Amino acid sequence: MLLPTTPVTTFSANWQRINEPLLHASNVELWLYCPTTIEPMISGNKWLKLQYHIKEIQQQQYQGFVTFGGAFSNHLAASAAAAKLAGITATAYVRADVIDLANPTLKYCLQQGMVLIVTDRQTYRRRQDADFLKVITKRHPNCLIIPEGGSSVFGAKGIATLDLYHTPAGPADVIATATASGGTLAGLIMAENITTRPLTEIIGLAVINDNALPQHVNALLATELTVTVPWRIVKTAPEQRYAKCPKEHIDFCCQFTLQHGIAVEPVYTGRALYKLYQQIQSGEFAAGSRISFFHTGGLQGVAGLYYRKLINRRQYQILSGVRAG
């Protein structure tokens, strides 16, 4: 069965210029690229990272796929939605002690028909080990394995179809995005590799404190780059563990959402934007610079933040668009 075209592959190229006193004072132009699809769970970077995996499943006539993620994973929610649309099976090894049926992410995945397998943290750490993946392959013989976050060469190639260079105001001097598993960053670097125009610097704003992240990105690029693309990784909050949301990040996201009408959450996009604002304030970008920032979506995670009491009701209403009541 072929995947329906309209709900997922028709993107709205939503560019929005961000106007802030800080940007005017620094003479820096900031544009956000916010791609959306009819199915919100696979907006942002989600469908882009999954589309070539789905094509591979269809071409090789696999039954479905197996993937990995945490209990509130954007990737798991997106994968479950994509599998249902494609009419294929989806199985996920979930880093958790139990399957919490009240968890909004896992509840959604189950509603889409995804099979969830509880995986303790020690076992989950082996998700990239060759021996462990052989066991998974034997256990699910007619399924494609999709890495955590969809970050494979397939995933990166999907991201590489984006054009973040040509903003409505002209060429970008810098392209920036949040990065965790490295697939989106690798894809943006690949996109630079295949162009004939002057190369643009790519910045990955790391929302996870993983010292091996550069190696993950380089591994995805190993057979893809033919030119030297300028890219770097910047840690957003090295003193904060992944998915821990300090008050300043939450307050920033709420203020940004109210001011610009673009929802951002404090785990990925908001955390990355917060760091980007700090870079702009410190004068890291030359006057006259134009920055293109990729909003990778992930707003389903807001419900999980509220469920875990990491944000209050008012903050949840702002970030999720829920009306007060």
Q: What is the structure's pLDDT at 5?
A: 40
Q: What is the structure's pLDDT at 294?
A: 97
Radius of gyration of the chain (CA): 19
**Strand ranges (E), the chain:** 15-18, 29-33, 64-70, 89-95, 115-119, 143-145, 166-167, 170-171, 174-179, 201-206, 231-235, 290-294
Half-sphere exposure of 108 (CA within 13 A, CB side): 21
Over residues 123-173, the pLDDT tens digits come to 999 999 999 999 999 999 999 999 999 999 999 999 999 999 999 999 999
Domain 6-42+166-317 -> CATH class:
alpha beta
* CA distances in angstroms from 284 to 31, 258, 276, 317, listed in the order given: 17, 27, 10, 34
Q: What is the structure's pLDDT at 27?
A: 97
Using CA atoms, how far apart are residues 187 and 263, in angstroms rounded to an integer? 24
Over residues 23-49, the pLDDT tens digits come to 999 999 999 999 888 788 888 899 999
Spans of the chain, pLDDT less than 70? 1-12, 243, 322-325
- Domain 46-150 = CATH 3.40.50.300: no
Q: What is the structure's pLDDT at 6?
A: 38
Task: Judge whether 6-42+166-317 and 46-150 match in fold.
Answer: yes
- Residue spans per domain, the chain: 6-42+166-317, 46-150
3-state secondary structure of 51: helix
